[in-house]
Amino acid sequence: MPALFVTGTGTDIGKTYVSCALIRALKARGAAVDAFKPVVSGFDPRDAAGSDPARLAAALGDPAGLFRIAPRRYRAPLAPNIAARLEGQTLVLDDLVIDAVARTAELRDGLLLVEGAGGVMSPLTDTATNLDMITALGAPALLVAGSYLGTISHVLTALVALRAARVRVAAVVLSESLDAPDLAQTAGALAPFLGDAALFTAPRRETWDAGPLADHLADHLLAHLGQP
């Protein structure tokens, strides 16, 4: 069963928003889909329902699945390795990879969305980044970016890092940022620099349909990927 690693150009740019919409679109098409967040920081148990894993669980139609989706949760809104250390734990890349591989074994068909913490080069452990986990899994990446001024440079920098590590980029999603330049205009300026990476836009509205993105992934990933 293939896995897709949802990463970003940074934090708070819409990874979970895009993942939730993609989950709903895939489910509407009858596809088997699940989600996994290897590690979450900034998790407030008193507001668990407002957390990113809770939103993923709701999109999956499994409101009680928060703890299954995110087994490693830390309170401090810091890089996961620092947040874990504040609670007396040390994150190890091999453990995070094993967790993700185990989750792939639970779903025979369909797609597992593995959502990272922060951006492509954000640290997960004291010595490893999201990029290290992506390459260890052998999974393609869905790169999510904001539409703020300066995002084009951030997208292209992230793509250089992913491609240098020989990560297959399934698509780039430009998620609309508040008080930012026009989304379509920014996408138009970015597109000529993407090479063979498909570009999708994600307006910030409840009615945004991720169907075209879901169809692209179904056409180009599900039929060709094996176990990570």
Catalytic residue numbers, as ranges: 37
Would you say how long the chain is, in residues? 228
- Cβ atoms 110, 225 nearer than 8 A: no
Q: Which of 66, 41, 54, 220 is CA-nearest to residue 142?
A: 220
Please enumerate in sequence order all residues whose Cβ is within 8 A of that of 114, keeping only pairs 6 or more positions apart, or say none: 3, 4, 5, 6, 35, 36, 37, 38, 100, 103, 137, 139
Residue type, 208: W
Please enumerate in sequence order all residues whose Cβ is within 8 A of that of 204, keeping only pairs 6 or more positions apart, or say none: 14, 17, 175, 176, 178
Give dist(CA 198, CA 130) in Å, integer: 21
Give me 147's structure tokens: 């539409």
Q: 35: how many CB neighbours lie within 10 A of its CB?
A: 28
Q: Which of 67, 65, 71, 101 is CA-nearest to residue 89?
A: 71
Give me 181's structure tokens: 């330049």
